């Protein structure tokens, strides 16, 4: 499964072009960090680990670009809380 990528967004559409999965992560801190503010997976695709893969794509991009991440949306917060290996890109509180 390959996601499409535009600046600050990974997403997937079905064959008809309907959006079926998405994560958005605008820049914050003058471009030094991302904030994951939205994660969406169509109900027909839930339970397949797609949201986790979307968040992982942002984590990988943050590592490559030397940025940190503020996990704002509920799913992203859960992913960071339950995935200790994301600690290296977690934006420190109060930064």
**pLDDT of 92 over the 60 cut:** yes
pTM of the model: 0.94
pLDDT, tens digit (0-9, with 9 covering 90-100), for 16-43: 999 999 999 999 999 999 999 999 999 9
Residue 1's Cβ-count burial label (10 Å; 0-12, 13-18, 19+) is exposed
**pLDDT of 95 over the 60 cut:** no
The position carrying tokens 């995935």 is 83
């Amino acid at each position: 499964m390959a996601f499409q990528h535009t600046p600050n967004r990974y997403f997937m559409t079905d064959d008809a072009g309907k959006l079926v999965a998405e994560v958005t992560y605008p820049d914050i801190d003058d471009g030094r960090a991302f904030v994951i503010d939205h994660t969406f997976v169509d109900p027909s695709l839930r339970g397949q680990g797609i949201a986790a893969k979307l968040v992982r794509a942002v984590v990988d991009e943050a590592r490559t670009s030397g940025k940190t991440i503020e996990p704002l949306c509920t799913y992203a917060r859960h992913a960071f809380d339950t995935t200790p290996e994301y600690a290296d890109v977690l934006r420190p509180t109060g930064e």
